[in-house]
Amino acid sequence: MRNVTALTAMLLFAAALVPQASMAQDAIEVRAAKVCAGIGSLVSKSQGEVTVDNLELSTTGNGTVSISRDGVDLGKVNQAEYKDYVSCLTTVIGLLSPQPKPPPPTVTYRVCSGEYERACKPHDVYLYCYADVKSWAAARCESSIVQRMNTYAGNKCGYSIDTVVCTSPK
């Protein structure tokens, strides 16, 4: 688990160093500022539509402004949120920012290696003596983390219990 946490932290740190991400975020913030200004002019009319870049802002006079792009509703901004400029920016940036991709599915296997399966402690997968757990994981996972949990003596080759965290099972 510690390895997964460390890897995630390194990936997030590396992503923060990519200049394109900050330029894209800057562009979203500029568009959000334009949208909040557009909301101000739209609300002063009490109802109607305003276009900001490729975004359509509309209200029917009930105090809520709808934001859409190419006919797809991105969300609504309530009156309490657009009265305060910072709240407006925060809400609109959330609506305009791309949603993060869900993490890939993971499966955890408990692998026992040894001469006789019946002598293995509780496990999900059995491999015979000296089988390479990393090769087994590579054949079944896009990426994996293998961690030795325990070893114990017995029969001709002894036994080992490994935990394999498999990302994107094949």
6-26, pLDDT tens digit by residue?
333 433 444 444 444 466 666
Per-residue pLDDT reduced to its tens digit, 75-117: 888 777 777 778 888 888 888 887 788 888 999 999 999 999 9
Q: How many CB atoms lie within 10 A of CB 87?
A: 15
Is the entire prediction scored with pTM above 0.85? no
Opening angle at CA 43, ends 85 and 45, nearest 5 = 150
Share of the chain above pLDDT 70, in %: 81
- Radius of gyration of the chain, Cα coordinates, nearest whole angstrom: 27
**Nearest to residue 164, comparing CAs of 140, 139, 144, 142?**
144
More confident position, 56 or 133: 133
Q: Are 160 and 148 in contact (CB under 8 A)?
A: yes
